[in-house]
Every structure is written in C-alpha cells, then in structure tokens.
Amino acid sequence: MKFQPVIPKSNRRSGTALRIAIIGGAGLALFAVLFFRLWSLQVVTGDKYLAEANDNRTRDIRVLAPRGRILDRDGEVLVDNRTRMALQLDPIEIPTDTPARRKLFASIAEVMDKNTDWVRKRYHDEIVDNPPGSPVTLADDVDDDLVYYLQEHQAEYPEIQVNRVFVRKYPQGLEAAHILGSVGEVTAEDLEKSDLPDLAAGDTLGKTGIEQTYDSTLRGAAGMTRIQVDSTGKVKGQLESHIPEPGKSLRLTLNPDVQTAGEAALGSFPSNAGAFVAMDVHTGEILGMGSTPTFDPTEFTKPLTQKRVDELYDEANGAPLFDRAIGGQYPVGSIYKPFTAIAALDSGDITSSTVVNDTGQVEIADQVFTNAGKQPHGPVDLRRSLEVSSDVYYYLLGAEMNGTDQLQKWSAMFGIGEPTGIDVPGESAGFLPTKKAVNQRQREEPDLLDPWTIGQNIQLAIGQGYLQASPLQMAVAYAALGNGGDVLKPHLVQQTEDAAGRVLDQTEPEVVRQIPIDPAARDVIMGGLHDAAQEPEGTSYPVFGGFPIPVAGKTGTAERLPKADQSWYAVLAPYPDPDIVVITTVEEGGFGADTAAPVALQILSAYFDKQAKAVTDGSGTIE
C-alpha cells in the first residue's frame, strides 16, 4: 500500500480562504473599473456623447416600387405610371401638446399658402384611416418651387417630408375604366386583413377591377434607403440602399378596336344606361366589355370629397361606378329562347319540325298570353319561331315543361344563375327561378314575389318573370351554343410580362363543363338565329341584313317595370361556325332591333373591319 500524507485541517482552511480572497479582490477591482468607466461616460463626457448621438441619427426610407403597366392585346398602354411629389407629415415629429401643434400647423399653412384650419382639418381627416405611424399626406402633387424651398429650409421644418410617389395615368382616357379599376393608399383595415408580409403603411393597393384582382402581381416589392441625419433632419450621408423591384405588367385580352367601338356605340345613347360584352367563343377571352355611364379613373389618383363619392354611387346619376356588364341583373327577353328550345328538344316535347299555329295569343290556365303587339305569325316550326320571335311558340313550351325542372336544368348547364368566375370583382350570380327558389324567396319577402305558378315557367321560357341574368352570363351561354357545348370561364388577362416585356405566364382556356348539345338541334337553332338576322322577315334584318359577314343573331325586348322596356341583342359570327359572341343591352331602350342591335353591329364592324350596306324591305331603304 502506497503511503498518503495527512494534511492538517487548519492548513486546508487557510488555503481555501486565500483563494476566496484573491477571487473577491479581482471581482472588486473589475467592478471598480466598470463603475469608474460608467461614471466617466455619463458624468465626465456624457454631454459630448449625447451631442454626437443627436447629430448622428439614422432613418430608413421605404422606397415604393412602380406598379406594373396594363396593356391591351396589341401592346397599347392602358395604365401606366407618373411620378409626383407629395407633401407629408411625419406623425412621430408632430407635437403632442396643443399649443405647439397649433404653432406647427400655422407655419405649415403659411408655407402652403393655406389657412390653419385647412391644415388641421386635412391632418385629422387623413390620420383617421391611416395605419399607425404612417405619413400623413397634406398635398399629393406639390409644385417644384415649394419642393425646392422645403429642401433648402429642412432644418426649419423637420416634421415635413417631400417624397416622390407613383401615380397611375391613363393614356386612353376613360376607356375600359370598369375593367381596369382603381388603386388607393393602404388603410389600417387593409393591413389588418392582408396576409402579405411586404405590405406596409404608405403603400398603394388595388381597390377595384384588374388592379384589385392582380394587385400582388402589379405591386412589385418596395426598396429601402438608410440615411444618416443630424438633429435638424439634415442628411449627412447614405448608409445603404436596396433598389425596389418594379411590378410585373399585364397584357389583357381586350381588342382595342372592339373596345373603342363598343364604348362609342353605347355612348350614342347618353340618356340610357347599358352594357356590352364581346368574347372569343373558343377561348373565353374577353375582347371587349363596357358599361355606361362610366367614370374617369384619374379621379381616384387624387383625394375625393365625400360628396363626389356619393355622386359616383348615386343611382340618380346612373351609378357610374356600377359595372352593368358583370353586375347587372336583368330579365333578358327573347334572347333566352334558344335555351328554351334546346331544353324542349331534349325533353321530347317537340321536334324541330313541330308546327304551332301562332294567332298572336294563347290562353293557358285561364290566362291569356300575347305576342308583342298581338301580332300573329301563322304556322311556325322551331326555326321560324326564332326568325320571327314567336312568343306563343315558347309560351306553350314553358307550359309543357312546367313541373319537370327541364328548362331550369338546361339553363343551369349554360351557366344561368351562377357567377362565371371572371377575373375581376363585382360579378353577380343573378337568379334562375325554380319552384323551390321562388317559394323560398316568397316566404322571406312576401311583398316582392308571388308563389310559384305555371305562369312563372311560361315567363321564364321567353326570358321574363323573376329571371335575373347579366350580359356576361348571356355571353358565356351563347358562346357554349356557338362552340357546340363548352361552357368557358371568361378571362381578361392574356399573359404576365416582366418590365422588359418578356412573357412570364400565360392564361390557358378553361372549360368549366361540357353540355351534351345534340348537333342536329344546334344546327336548327343556329339556322333560326341566322334567319332572324339576315332573312327579310327576321327581327333584326333591318340592322344586319346588309352585313357582309354571315351572322346568327337574336333580338330581345324585356319588360322591366316600372321602367320602360329594355333592349337586348345577342349575335354569333361568322355563321355557322362562330369565333365571336357579342351581347348588348340598353336600359329603357325599347325594341331589341332599335338600340341594342345597332350597338352590336358597330362592334362586329370593328372586329371584322367590315361595314353593313343598306337593305330594303320592298317599301324603301332601311338603314
């Protein structure tokens, strides 16, 4: 065994105490050094470093990205950007006590050549909706003289910022205003609802139309510049910078000739509201779409008074902001008859050769139903019923199909009563009257609707009664008839491009569903529509009889009490294998041939670059 020396306990205690004393002394020395250093920084040289800190502040400036441009299908610019200088207040620099704030507002008013009350009201109006901490814009388009003055006297006005902002401009004026939409500064509510991590106070957000639907594509990504400033706000240098990424551009499906012609044609009835839709029957591309009355989109690049906002929504002014092409809910009259015919042929209630003797009126369930003006058409088969627009023929079909939902089933397959899914907001679903739906609404609103009766189905057969549909829904339905059964999702964006014009993404045609239309039934119906437009006894022959392109068209005159009759026209061209469908409507426009058909004629003339020739009915020339 190895020998282990024994150390006395007293010696072990003295060694431990020595180590503790050494460690404690070292700690005390370090604490003393730290204490004297802090004392020196705060007491001896504190004023010096405070002055240096005040003279060397950093400020991060968010640099907004320019929004992407919006082009038509030919590359013409519909929406672009321009820059302007905005005079803004930094809310952090605004005094909290009333006298100091009043003095500041007075000095700002003097610089802007305004009165103090104007500045105070403007500040309070803006800060209500602004996100916390965001700049308060007093003027959004200040002139150069004021900009230069404020830059030279920045030390006197540290609360004022003059920042460059991007503003939308519209080279084509009012054209396609409802489609393009508007933008506005982001609000606190927008920030709360948005899940976009890069959205911040002061940013611009799409509010309506294409600007809203494709906001994340158009907006781009903001940059940042970090600068060093002194206590007066004077810039001492730039520390770092991140360049903003411009938004991507959108090329729309709009044909500029079609769009211009459609809006001009509707504008020829300045006292009537209306709408038009022109669509490619094979792809669902919207070639033109418009609504009247319209509005000037440049109004939304500046602050609007509440009075002006109310005027834009006021129905007494025609509600200019309301897009009737996608949101209008109307009875559509006789342009509905082709779908009634398809449903009746499928049910076996008629064949294409079934003849009805049209005496001008018919009595069903103790009620008399009449043609327009009680005009008799004599013996009519299916094709001729469309040519002369025999209401009696379709009254009988509506009565025959009552209780089977046959007419409603086929109407729903064509998209009636449901949104089309177009890529702009504001679309209405409309209303397809079924027995169940009508009775449900009647229980909810007994003063507005009557319970379902056979008369409801009879009225639906000619596009009347409680039916509510938009021009766009009718365009989709007619396109399916024209292409043989494909119900297409309409779209306005053809492709996405980068700032250099390189294609990044393209929109492919989307077939929502396929309808099993009997080709023979389609041929008969298309033939009847062709005769209605271009045979001497056709309802729109005076308008389309001299058009050099063969077409298939149908007039509609819809009762919309207490207003006067609404004018409709639906046309597919060229016949028999169409490429384009056009739907037009003019509120209180009377007969379909009087107002809506001439609008459609101007649109097709622009599309085909052809003009109609005068036709004669044997008694003289009809324009």
- Opening angle at CA 241, ends 238 and 243, nearest 5: 145
Helical (H) or strand (E) element with 343: helix 337-347
DSSP β-ladder status, 57-63 and 223-229 = antiparallel
Please answer whether residues 413 and 487 qualify as being in contact, where contact means their C-beta atoms are separated by less than 8 angstroms: yes
Tokens of 81: 């950007």
Tokens of 62: 């968010």
- Opening angle at CA 441, ends 438 and 443, nearest 5: 110
Residues of the chain where predicted confidence (pLDDT) is lower than 50: 1-3, 55, 618-623
Please answer whether residues 123 and 136 qualify as being in contact, where contact means their C-beta atoms are separated by less than 8 angstroms: yes
Sign of CA dihedral 477, 479, 482, 487: negative
pLDDT > 90: what percent of the chain? 59
pLDDT in tens, 158-195: 777 777 778 899 999 999 999 999 998 877 777 777 67
| Amino acid sitting at position 299 | E
Q: Is 448 left (phi over 0), alpha (psi -120 to 50) or beta?
A: alpha
SS3 145: helix
State residue 101's pLDDT score.
83
**Cα 358 from chain centre:** 45
CATH architecture classification, 59-252: Alpha-Beta Complex (3.90)
State residue 131's pLDDT score.
61
Distance CA 334, CA 568 (A): 8
What are the sequence ranges of the domains in the chain? 59-252, 256-313+320-614
Sign of CA dihedral 149, 151, 154, 160: positive
Q: Is 464 left (phi over 0), alpha (psi -120 to 50) or beta?
A: beta
How much of the chain is in helix, strand and coil states, percent to nearest 5?
40, 25, 35
Phi/psi at 274 (5° precision): -175, -175
Sign of CA dihedral 479, 525, 547, 376: negative
19-25: list long-range contacts, CB under 8 Å, 24+ apart: none
Q: Is 180 left (phi over 0), alpha (psi -120 to 50) or beta?
A: alpha
CATH architecture classification, 256-313+320-614: 3-Layer(aba) Sandwich (3.40)
Taking each helix axis as running N to C, give the angle between helix 454-461 and helix 391-400, from 0 to 180 degrees, rounded to the nearest 10: 140
Distance CA 289, CA 293 (A): 13
